[in-house]
Structure formats: C-alpha cells, structure tokens
Amino acid sequence: MTHLPVPADPTVLGPALDLEALADRAQAFAAGARAAATRKAYASDWRHFEDWCRTAGLAALPAAPTTVGLYLAAQAEVLAVATLTRRLSAIAVAHRMAEHAMDTRHPAIRDVMRGLRRVKGVAQVHAEALTVPLLRRVLAGCGDRLIDSRDRALLLVGFGAALRRSELVALDHADVAVGPEGLRITIRRSKGDQEGEGQVVAVGRTGTVTCPAGAYAAWIAAAGISEGAVFRGINRHGRVGRRLSTDAVSEIVQRRAAAAGLDPTLFSGHSMRAGFATSAALAGVEERLIMRQTRHRSSATVRRYIRDGELFARNLAAEIGL
C-alpha cells in the first residue's frame, strides 16, 4: 500500500509547511480509520491474495476483475462466504489506497459472489449462548483459588455488562466504579464506538452468589489490583501477570464449559454476550432495553437473540397432543 500523494506545488499550502510530514500524519490518520483487528485481518488477506497472484502468474496491483473472480472461486472450497466477502473488501481497500480503481460490482466479481452465496449459503455459525442456567452450571465448578475468583468475575462481568471480548480485556481499574447499586462500567472504545466517544454500562447488584458486583470486588481484593488492567493472567504459582488477551477469554470460557460437562467447541468468548441477550429476551425484557445494554446499533442481531430465546417459550408439540 502506498503513501498518500504530496501536492506537486508546495505553495498551495504555504512554503512554511512540511508537506512530507503532513502526508505521513494524514496516512497515519487514514490507517486509524479502521479498528486494529480489521487492519490486521485486511493485511493478512492482502498478503494471501498477492501470494496467490504470484503463484498464478497474475498481477495483484492493479488486479483485473477476472483475476479477483478467479481468486474467489479458487478459495471457495476452503473459506466461508463471510471470509471471502472480507477478502474482497481487503483487495478493494488495497487498490483504493494505491489509487487504483477496483469495481467490486463488475460482473466478473459480482456474479462469482452471487453464485457462492447461492451454493454455500450465508448463514453464520454462532457461538452457543451461555444463558443463566448454563452460566450457573459453569460457575458451580469454580472453587476458592485465585484463578477461580478471576474466572468467576470475568464470566459474571462479561455476562452482566454484555461485553465483547475486546471490551472485557481492555477494562482498567479506573473504568469500573463499585457502588451500593452495582457496577458502573466505562467502555473507552468498542466495535460499535470506533470514534472513542465512550459508553457507560450499569450492572445492578443482585446480592446473590452470582452477583457480578460481588464477584468483581472479590477478585480485585484477592488480586490486590488498584490500577491498570482488571483481568490478568495467573501463572501456575498463583502469581498475577499481564493483561489477558481476547484469545485467553475464549480459552477460559471453553475450559470452564468443559469442566461443567458441556461441549467446549460450542462456546466462545462471545457466549457471555449472546447469553445475556438471549436470557433477557427469554425473561421478556423489552428490545430497546436489551439494545441499550448490548449497545447494538442494529435491531436485527438483537431480534435473532429474541427469536432464539422464544424458541421453546411454548411447547407446540405438546399443545397439539403429540
């Protein structure tokens, strides 16, 4: 990917300005327009496309629409439609940054993608929701060790605040205020808040053994955390280490699910967030209130959770006499 072009005539912006420095700054801001995870995925996707073109003896930049269509078809057996769609976006972005035209609506590309959607389908595989009954089952396996205290707090805070993995691991001590009513959690930046305006989520105190506020306070006290990252790794000697990664969150969920006798492959770091939305829907919580907690901008995703929660609200098979 190339740098943004510098105007040929320096007097356009004034002779005292360092245009090279301004171009570098503009390039940095442009790069920051997308989330770090998206930039990393796009970079990986672009490298894969370049390697494929090199092997096939085709130009990657600029690439002909037929080349892109051939690439998508070549990857159809091993990649999901969602991944292929992201690959196409990465290719288009790389061309745009290099000031080359890339029309993703060209028939050589559009028709291939349409055909792939018809053949492969577009339904995504979603993580199993860690609903309240399942969460209680998982938490029942937590003992009195420091790692148990951390996992209990992580699961309950992640569930109660409907946090994404990235939001959960990004929490600092200063972001969580503990009060008589519960937790006030400030999310500095998230997938739905790329501009970094910040969002505040409240998790009410329940006074039960599964109270997120109680679990959080117990973990902070046991680990002696007064600043910095809230959720951290713990080594085999019981020493608290550095901030957890997003992958570590998924591993914790799966390990705890397995210990509870559940199939760990069905669960992921997203299971807590999905579990909250599904449980709230099952409890009859209004859609707007669920969206306020999950911070979904689109109601389509939340409605899927509501549908999942209502699947067995009535046993129609029994009602008709089966």
**Whether residue 48 lies in the annotated active site:** no
Question: Cα(103)–Cα(62) distance, rounded to whole angstroms?
Answer: 12
**216 labelled catalytic:** no
Are the C-beta atoms of residues 59 and 53 closer than 8 Å to each other? Answer: yes
Closest alpha carbon to 178 in 148, 207, 205, 209 = 205
**Six token digits for residue 41:** 């995925």
Of the candidates 16, 260, 22, 50, the one whose C-alpha atom is nearest the C-alpha of residue 136 is 260
Q: Where is 316: in which H helix or E strand?
A: helix 316-319
Task: Show the CA angle centred on residue 174, arms to residues 223 and 235, nearest 5°.
Answer: 25
Residue 87: active-site member:
no
Cα–chain-centroid distance for residue 213? 24
Residue 86 designated active-site: no
DSSP summary character for residue 44: H
Quote the CA–CA distance of 204 and 173 in Å, as a whole number. 18
Cβ pair 303, 278 in contact under 8 A: no
- Annotated catalytic residue: which of 184, 273, 288, 303? 273
Contact 260, 137 (CB under 8 A): yes
Phi/psi for 86 (5° steps) reads -65, -40
Among the options 54, 191, 297, 307, which is catalytic? 191
Return the number of other C-beta atoms located less than 10 Å from residue 309's C-beta.
Answer: 21
Check if 270 is active-site. yes
| Residue from 42, 71, 216, 305 carrying the catalytic annotation | 305
C-alpha distances (whole Å) from 228 to each of 164, 281, 283 are 19, 34, 36
User: Cα–Cα distances in Å, from 180 out to 204, 207, 213?
Assistant: 9, 11, 9
Choose, from 87, 165, 270, 295, the residue flagged as catalytic: 270
Q: Which of 164, 232, 256, 295 is catalytic?
A: 164
- DSSP code of 265? G
Q: Which of 165, 256, 295, 296 is catalytic?
A: 296
Give the Cβ contact number of residue 316 at 10 Å: 9
Hey, which residues are catalytic here? 164, 191, 270, 273, 296, 305
